[in-house]
Amino acid sequence: VGELGWELYVPTEFTLHVFDMLVEAGADVGLKHAGFQALNTLRLEKAYRDYGYDIDNTDTPLEVGLGFAVDFAKPGGFIGREALLRQKEEGVLKHRLVQFLLEDPEPLLYGSEPIYRDGELVGHLNSGGYGHTLGGAMGLGNVENEKGVTADFVKSGTYEIQVAGARYPAKASLRPMYDPKGERVRS
């Protein structure tokens, strides 16, 4: 969710006991229950990808901003290594996963909204939600361009997201708008 956290893997028969212990231990520090939508909007603010919504098996790590997690020198290699190396060497990605934040705080985003760059349709949001930390609706979506979607391409365009037939100006970023350097996760 963009903050320091843990994932607990607990055998099913112990989950209720562990849950009760966590709630009791966390009472003194203000532990609160959070629902799925709260967690979903927090992950969107941090631009954490959700497999099946934001990314799938047709995307490469380079296209969705996960190239940093690829070990090209892994002993024995990996399936798709040569194709990924070619894509990296070519340096031209025809689509990229981009984070968007509406400048108007009123409209809501849910996913599937059209993305316009300089008035031209360039993609759709994969997922959306309201970012309480960022102060507006935000989402992750694929931007496409046959000539390539570079950082300069993303930065130089004027973006709009269409909501219920109306277009709203949006900021676009290849890096998370919340804690872009990942300092909070490491604090």
Q: Compute the distance between CA of residue 60 and CA of residue 173 in angstroms, rounded to an integer.
A: 18
- Does domain 1-58+93-187 fall under CATH 3.30.70.2740? My reply is no
Q: Which residues pair with 114 in a beta bridge?
A: 124
Q: Compute the distance between CA of residue 17 and CA of residue 86 in angstroms, rounded to an integer.
A: 51
Q: Decide: 64 and 97 in contact? Cβ < 8 Å.
A: yes
The pTM for the full model equals 0.90
In the chain, domain spans = 1-58+93-187
pLDDT in tens, the chain (187 residues): 788 888 899 999 999 999 999 999 999 999 999 888 888 999 999 999 999 999 999 999 999 999 999 999 999 999 999 999 999 999 889 999 999 999 999 999 999 999 999 999 999 999 999 999 999 999 999 999 999 999 999 999 999 999 999 999 999 999 999 999 989 888 8
Q: Decide: 125 and 115 in contact? Cβ < 8 Å.
A: yes
